[in-house]
Amino acid sequence: MFREQGMVLSRGTDNSLEFEVVTGEGKHLIASPTQNSDLFWALNGGGGGTYAVVISQTTRAHADGIVAGASLTFNNTNDEAYWTAIEAWQKLLLDLEKVRGMNTFWGFTDKTFALYSATLPDAKAGVIAAHLDSFKRRLSKLQLPYTYETNDRPNYYQHFSIYTPSLPFGEYTTNSVLGGRLIPRSLVQNALPSLISTFRNITFGAGVKGPASGHPFRINGIASNVSHARVGNNPGANSIHPAWRNSLYWLNMDVYHDPKDLKAVYALQAQMNVYQGMLQALTPGGGAYINEATFDNPSWKEDYFGLNYDRLLRVKDKYDPNSIFYGPASVGSDRWAVASDGRLCRRK
């Protein structure tokens, strides 16, 4: 998703140089800014698996070096103070995004907040600590005890290893339902109380009933400045949803389940769409990260591709004229229907 660029963090799509692909018709092609440039544009952000089979990619490399890190957690020992702290964190993100290269990965329920990791390339521990000092003072004033650490490591891999145990595969649970939304900085600047109210409803389980009951929803965010001004490219340089460039962070919601309990899975999927819709209402005209959003969202074209959808469909029709590549909520997927037995049937 993101790659280090000295002191700048950017999306992987901003660093792609070339793709090697095989089309559905068996053609071996190179897609780059100078060869099959329309396909290159589509592969950089237009969803995976729907244009051709990618067999290799060339990406821009960047110098490695020292990386500062930090983590912090606190619990809900006083409900009013806890949500005041969540609000303060949202405000702090507006300042942190001004720090070149800063990335934060965090999440919370109605009981616990965790800054899983903060990352600042080309910096020592004292630098990242200084950027978090005001938030720690706020927690102390609110009388919310917290745990906190900072460190620096000589390279990114060693930094990553601290916050991602059990490499190379990690230990993330996969039996979860995901939903999400890109949160624009304007929402935090101009309508933060509405956003916090929505967060509280989601984490409290508002509207949850039946098989979905007893499954707490968690909210997570990854914040990095990927605006055109920061990254150094222009609108239309690639096909990611334009809402990315105005986002303060991308938000996802997750809820874990027993995969054997299909009634709960279906109920949680339906509830996730409700919660995703609540965030849609706060961000009209916005978007979401397709890999961390619901597959059955009725507004998937607008939410996952935005104004790029029609152009992406033309690229797909050019390189996959028989429409043999398919993925739920992917470009051209509405030309197919999933039958009750799981088979794909072409719509007439």
- Model confidence pLDDT, tens digit, residues 241-289: 999 999 999 999 999 999 899 999 999 999 999 999 999 999 999 999 9
- Estimate to the nearest angstrom the gap between the alpha carbon of 190 and the chain centroid: 22
Distance CA 324, CA 333 (A): 10
CB of 218 closer than 8 Å to CB of 109: yes
For 48, other C-beta atoms within 10 Å of its C-beta total 13
Give me the percent of the chain exceeding a pLDDT of 90.
84
Average pLDDT over residues 133-155: 98
- Estimate to the nearest angstrom the gap between the alpha carbon of 142 and the chain centroid: 30
Task: Please report, for residues 172, 289, 290, 299, 345, the alpha-carbon distance to residue 329 in angstroms, rounded to integers and kept in the order given.
Answer: 24, 12, 8, 9, 15
Average pLDDT over residues 218-243: 93
Is the pLDDT score of 9 beyond 70?
no
Distance CA 286, CA 279 (A): 10
Residue in the structure block whose two tokens are 């965790």: 114
Is the pLDDT score of 197 beyond 70?
yes
Residue 8 banded pLDDT, cuts 50, 70, 90: very low
Positive or negative: CA dihedral 98, 101, 102, 104: positive
Average pLDDT over residues 84-103: 97
> What pLDDT shows up at residue 10?
54
